[in-house]
Amino acid sequence: MGERGDEAVTPAGRLFLQAEMKQVIHCVIGLKNPIDAELVKSQVRNSTMLQHPRFTSLMVRGEGGVEHWRPTEIDIDRHVLIIEEAVGEREEEDESAINKYLAELSIDSDGLSMEKPLWEIHLLKAHKCVIFRIHHALGDGISLMSMLLASCRKLNNPNALPTIAASASTSASKTNLINFRNLLATLWFCFIFALEFILRCLWIRDPKSALTGGAGVELWPRKIATATFSLEDMKTVKTAANATINDVLFAVISSGISRYLDFRAPNGLRDGVQLTGLAMVNLRKHPGLQELSNMMRSNSGARWGNKFGMILLPIYYHRTNTSDPLEYLKRAKAMIDRKKRSLEASFSYKIGDFVMSTLGPKVHFFFLIFTLLRQNKCYLILFVNCSLLAF
């Protein structure tokens, strides 16, 4: 803390605050009942969110351009924006209209104003929809979803906080790691995936395909489309294949990309060619959503902030007219199981933290841009469930 109560921004936060990044998280919540704007403002004013210093601080740059958080007074009316009229075309369905609204927000040249704390809540009253806009410098998916959960209450007990299911015991897995054979396999996967991560960043490229962006791709119009999957159906497949929800979801993504490539460019790629997916992994000692009180403690293993690494998730194109859909799940499960046994996410986090701490956020940002250009702008950014991929 500085003399005026300033707090230094973390290395990851400094990266997300770069003007070229403008990394803003959008969270959309649909409601059953009409929105009472004044009630929402009252609840926000008294919420746990405004007890957290990140949500009540301005980002300021001190001497040498170093970023700091500085406490300030909150004007709720500047953060809770009320949209009375329907957005989009009159005949348009709510989902399509909201998607267009989000696309417009995503290309907003101003982003979130630095003259106030870096968050907003948009109330789309005609659509019974709430949109949270939160700058990524304030925290990652685990932090923000835990914050949202702490602001909710149980339906059958309005005074009680929602409970978080305890994580499954990991004692069996720890015992297995003592096995020498498993230890050798873990070391081998660590070496292979760390080497692949470096090679993919610096030399190896994905093949050009219908997914590859062209020159000036960052200036192209943007569109957001959503797809709905039955969680019960995914659980059924998960149980039958002895897999996880993440395995099933990644198999759906792999199958969908193969179908899209077949539609856009039949026979454009050879069967089995690899495309590169990039997923974010929660690196806290305790996986899953956390009690907010635990995250607020400085000595907690589930601390607040941006605590995630990245892993490469290879997606293999297969012609859909000759592929069994369950084969995508088998390949996804086998690959993700190997990734879980490696330290690739921790390796990428340490590399990024080292670059940020020694060379600064601008060098780190341009390294990321260079990496994407090396891949012909063909990285697939995979956000696997709202709370990040928890291994």
Catalytic residue list? 136
Beta bridge partners of 308: 282
- Residue 9 near residue 67, CB atoms below 8 Å: yes
Of 152, 140, 164, 145, the C-alpha closest to 31 is 152
Task: Identify the three-state secondary structure at position 337.
Answer: helix
Beta bridge partners of 26: 133
Furthest-apart CA atoms within the chain: distance in Å = 67
Tokens 């982003």 locate to 111
Task: Identify the three-state secondary structure at position 280.
Answer: strand
Tokens matching residue 328: 């995508």
How far apart are alpha carbons 5 and 70 in whole angstroms?
A: 7
- Residue 310 near residue 388, CB atoms below 8 Å: no
- Residue 143 near residue 289, CB atoms below 8 Å: no
Strands 129-135 and 24-30: antiparallel
Amino acid letter at 316? Y
Rounded to the nearest 5°, which phi and psi values hold at 385? Answer: 65, 160
